[in-house]
Structures are given as C-alpha cells and as structure tokens.
Amino acid sequence: MARALIIGAGAIGRGYLPWNFKNMEFDFYDESIELCNGITKQVGYSSFMAIDGKLEERRFRPGEITSDLSQLNLKRYDVAFVSVGPRNCSNLPTELSMLECPIFSVENDPLTLEIISNLTGSKSVFFGVPDVIASSTASRENLDRDQFALHTEEGVLYLERNSSIPENLFGHLPKVIWSSREEMTREWDAKLFLHNTPHCIAAYLGYLNKKVFLHEGFNNAFIVKVVEGVIEELVLALKRTTKYDHDFLEQYADKELRRFSNPLLYDPISRVAREPLRKLEKGGRLVGALSLCLKSGVNPSFLNIGISAALNYKDPADRDFESMFQVENFGVSNFLKYYLDMAPDSIESQYVTESYKDACDYWKRELVCVS
C-alpha cells in the first residue's frame, strides 16, 4: 500500500490532508512531543469536515506520529507534504534529505519550494495550493470528546503536475486537481489576493472587535462591508493586470464571504491573524495587494483599512507581539522601513503612512457603532 509522510501535523496537515487519501497509509512528523504522544496514546484523532451545512466526522489513525525523524524509514514513502508554516520551512530537519519521493509544499508561499529543495537536495519539490479553510481547533463539544480534534471545510487541493511524478500516485489522491505550473500560478494568485488577503483582514478586524472565532466577526456589518470591499477592489485589480478569465475571478470571489462566515469551522482569529509581519511583507497578501491595486489604478480604500488594522494586531501569544508595539514607538514609516524593508519614499509606504490615522479613526468608530 502507498504511504505518505505529512511534515507538520497542524490544521492543514492533520485536519485536511488525510481526507484526500485513498488506500494510502500516512505518518506524521511534528516537533510537538506532546501532540505526538497524545495522538499515539489515544490511537488516532478525529477530523470534522463541514459539508452542506453539516459536520462529517472521520477518525484517522496514522501509522506513526513522531517528533524524532530517526524513528522513520524515510526511503519508504511515495509522497511527502510539507505543512509546517512558511517561516518554519528553513528550520526543517536536514534528515529529510533522505526522502526519495516527490515533496509537495502546501505552504501558501511558492518561495518555500527553493527553501525545501535546498534543504533536502531534492529536485522533486513541487507546489501545492490547498484551497481550504482548516481550523487549528474544534467546537467545545468536539474537543471534550477529543482534545486533538480539528474542523475543516471540504476545500480543493491543487497539486502541480509533473512528468516525474509516479502514475500510481494519482489513484491514491483521487480528489486532487493536478495542474500545470501555469494553472497553479492562476490558482495561487486567486487564493493569495481573493482569499488570503480578505481572510486575514477579517481576522484583524475581528480581533479589534474582541471576537475569538472568525465567523463571529461577520455579525458586525462594518466587517462585512470592509471584507466585501476588499474583494471587489482586488477582483478589479486582477482583471486589469492579468489575462485570467473574468468569470473565473468573479466565481472565485463569490464564494469567499460564505466560507469566512461559516459557523461550523470554529476558525480562531489567532490562527488567521498570526504573524502579521509576514502578512505585511512586500509582495504578500497585504502590501502585495496594495501594490497590485496601485499599479492597476484601483483605489484601495477598503484594503487600507485592513492594513491599518493589521498594524494594530497585538496578541501577546503571537510571535510578532513585541515587534508590533514598535508601530507607535517608531512611527508607521520607520516601522515599515525597519521591520519590512519598505523604503519611505516608496508609493506603498507613503500611502499607508499618510492614510494610517484616518483609517484607524474610521474603524475605531465604525466597529463600535455598526452592528
């Protein structure tokens, strides 16, 4: 029987990926000893998938789950998936160089391909786009039954098609949409700007509105208005700057608000909003989206509200917590220069800096007044 190695047993790796397997055993590598020991002790875990307004439960039993790669025979795998988070790819164990199978990075960042390839020495590292919302937790009811349970939506997994991928692998991943590099680029652009950008903005505004789960913020009309506005701005910007089919862009955008507000997902704001510095990087989901709008002549007024909200995200549990306090101490322009390498005379830095106070005043007023 075919066997997969999932590197990173978090929301995507544990909650979503195993739903895509058919007649395939799988193992987990994760740095959390507590997680590995806990799932081993209870012989598996439950994942709950939101399908047609209901949760479907599936019990998964990985063959091995370990924080010690020496416990695994890395030459035995038919495929491996990396889902540790983009920042953590550089810190993956060098022992992964023993893998001889195709490796898919499902990290929401194509730059991780080079990082993983350099670390493993593999020429078979390919891009994956999990178009899915996978929560890092579950409802209280399901957590009471299984502390390692997760919720996920049905989603779609796009994997890069390549002639070096063994034919037998396709049958073990029947739900996957195998796509060319060109098709993957289109899916990635759509996910980055029409999903990831409004998704994290919804989280930052939800945080400022003192919510815990993403869907709770959509009870606030102002948050709905801003998220819808961001999506409209970015659809227009993509229409003007790419050759992507307009129907594809509009259909992609139409489903996003329903996904974000799905109450079955129990998607924590802390997960979606985490690491704001990474989300504010040049070319990324916030400042990259700003560049796209400015280049296409689209006024990014709603996007700018979201960027100002991101600059005010200060969760003590977040790894960027200390850095985010420097927005007030440095001033916006200096913060963008020091932490994000944005030149003060760049149009993006000037736009954010000059409109920051008005944007903050706006959401501070509207988040309280609009319900």
pLDDT tens-digit series, residues 291-308: 999 999 999 999 999 999
* Entry pTM: 0.94
- Give the 3-state secondary structure of residue 349: helix
Concatenating the DSSP letter of every residue in 65-118 gives EES-GGGS-GGG-SEEEE-S-GGGGGGS-GGGGG--S-EEE-SS-TTHHHHHHH
Check residue 369 and give its pLDDT: 66
Residue 134 has pLDDT above 90, yes or no: yes
Check residue 317 and give its pLDDT: 95
Closest among 186, 207, 237, 240 to 318, alpha carbons compared: 207
| pLDDT tens-digit readout, 107-129 | 978 889 999 999 889 989 999 99
Mean pLDDT of the chain: 95
| pLDDT tens-digit readout, 229-263 | 999 999 999 999 999 999 999 999 999 999 999 99
* CATH 3.40.50.720 assigned to 2-179: yes
Residue 86 has pLDDT above 90, yes or no: no
| pLDDT tens-digit readout, 306-361 | 999 999 999 999 999 999 999 999 999 999 999 999 999 999 999 999 999 999 99
Residue 271 has pLDDT above 70, yes or no: yes
- Give the 3-state secondary structure of residue 153: strand
Pick among 1.10.260.40, 2.40.30.10, 1.10.3720.10, 1.10.1040.10: CATH of 185-369: 1.10.1040.10
Closest among 41, 47, 42 to 6, alpha carbons compared: 47
Q: Where in the chain is the domain with CATH 1.10.1040.10?
A: 185-369
Q: Where in the chain is the domain with CATH 3.40.50.720?
A: 2-179
Check residue 370 and give its pLDDT: 56
Residue 217 has pLDDT above 80, yes or no: yes
Residue 371 has pLDDT above 60, yes or no: no
